[in-house]
Amino acid sequence: MITAGGPSLFNGGKGCGACYQVQCNSNAACSGSPVTVVVTDECPGGPCQAESVHFDLSGTAFGAMAKPGQADQLRTAGKLAVEYTRVPCSYSGFKVAFKVDAGSNADYLAVVIENVGGDGDLAAVAVKEGGSATWTPMQWSWGALWKLDAGRALQAPFSFQLTSGQSKKVLVADNVIPAGWKPGTTYTSSVNY
């Protein structure tokens, strides 16, 4: 389930991918059971900017916090106080995936990195071109999008070195994006945290 987060959670986009357990107890429809959500966006204006922590939960996440049969009642309750804690992200059965941005070309590679377990967010990403032993740092663009504007033809296949946000654990996904890659295509690795 997903949520937009206020500025402190979204952290200018670097909090994208972080997971939290959220629960409510302040409404009669609240079950008191936590749900796990992933920060995917920053919530716009209003209370998001004024409060130190704010979750703008999806309708599915909001309803999942409710007692059986009371999801609609909770969704229409408006603003609710919640308890939350940061938790490791778990994508059971999923490996880290790299969606090549539509604007990528022979000299410019941008990827959205999805299904990152553990911390969920990334502090650094580096790419290694085919035939090279050198890791080249990618630049964080926004959210889960990382880019490399090489100014020269890049050589596939591409491997990626991911450094997680909180724990700084390093994960290597070898030869994920093959020669002949296409913009808009998602390539799945064989690894996850």
Give me the domain span that covers residue 105.
Answer: 97-188
- Of 22, 52, 87, the last residue of a domain is 87
Residue 107 and residue 156 in one domain: yes
Output phi, psi for 11, to 5 deg. 55, 50
pLDDT tens digits for range 155-175: 999 999 999 998 999 999 999
Residue 101 and residue 83 in one domain: no
pLDDT tens digits for range 39-98: 998 887 666 666 678 899 999 999 999 999 999 999 998 888 999 999 999 999 999 999
- Asked if residue 157 belongs to a domain, the reply is yes
Q: Are 60 and 1 in contact (CB under 8 A)?
A: yes
Please tell me the total count of domains within the chain: 2
Find all residues with CB under 8 Å of 71, minimum gap 6, and list them: 29, 62, 63, 64
- Asked if residue 193 belongs to a domain, the reply is no
Q: What is the pTM of this model?
A: 0.86
Burial class (CB in 10 A: 0-12, 13-18, 19+), 35: buried
CATH classification at residue 10: 2.40.40.10
- Asked if residue 177 belongs to a domain, the reply is yes
- Of 87, 112, 138, the last residue of a domain is 87
Distance between CA atoms of residues 166 and 81, nearest Å: 26
- Asked if residue 69 belongs to a domain, the reply is yes
- Asked if residue 23 belongs to a domain, the reply is yes
- Of 28, 55, 87, the last residue of a domain is 87
Distance between CA atoms of residues 103 and 110, nearest Å: 8
- Asked if residue 92 belongs to a domain, the reply is no
CATH classification at residue 141: 2.60.40.760
